[in-house]
Amino acid sequence: MVEYRELGRTGWKVPVLGQGTWGIGGFYSKDESKDAEAIEAIRLGIELGMAFIDTAEAYGGGHSEEVVGKAIADTKAEVFVATKVSPEHLSYESVIRSAKASLRRLNVKTIDLYQVHWPNPRIPIRETMRAMERLVKDGLVRFIGVSNFSVSELEEAMASLAREEIVSNQVEYSLLERGIERDMIPFCERERITVIAYSPLARGKLSEPDKHLSKDEADALRKLAEKYRKTPSQIALNWVIRRPIAVAIPKAARVEHVRENAGSADWSMSPEDYELLCRVFSRRL
């Protein structure tokens, strides 16, 4: 079974492994051609314990949210739904309008986690956070998060809230993208803010180590895959979620990928093997 972990300091627990939806329902515009396959994959993920779905109003021009809405419509499982408001919609009225549109597309009454997709220096974060708090007060949003924020941007967002807290920061994190370990992860550990890792497989590069990694990196990943009888992807995902502050949201577009992803969360590599990967991939810091 997939382990659950506290979101921020809310007392609310989410799966350590969720499902990302970038490209599902289209990338920058609507694409319905693979909707049925995506819905089947998302539903399988929920059955396998990955009942944390992350999407965004920008994905597929909003159609990704519609696909997620259809996927979760008939499930009896408790699904944690996260979506994101685009940086051009961060004024007070635009945040409210975007949230209500996302609720309609997702066909839910409450967005569990509403995140600022990217910071926008042209719109004061205080204005954005005032709208976020209004959404929580009105019961349309449960928790507030951000995405792609630096430590200083995160601090400013936190200081802009009067009643609520920032519970998460969604950032790129993988064996090949470890820059957040320098400042973001220590900050989030101190403040008890969950790190939601997107692209935890480095856009598929970690699935094909011989193609994309140095020889020592590929050798280490392959040897551990043999040791644990897992795939390189499962080793790479397990490495990400071994950090207590982190949860991961690998893409969930195809059934076979969802099954493989699920096999990353029901075991844990040894501390020695975790440190081995940290050393071998140290140049990625």
From the list 59, 114, 173, 198, the catalytic residue is 59
How many helices (H) and strands (E) in the chain? 11, 10
Sorted by sequence, the CB contacts under 8 Å of residue 259 that are 6+ apart come out as 44, 48
| Residue located via tokens 């519970």 | 167
Active site residue 92: no
Question: What residues contact 192, with CB distance under 8 A and at least 6 apart?
Answer: 8, 9
Q: What is the DSSP string of 138-159?
A: TTSEEEEEEES--HHHHHHHHH
**What are the catalytic residues?**
59
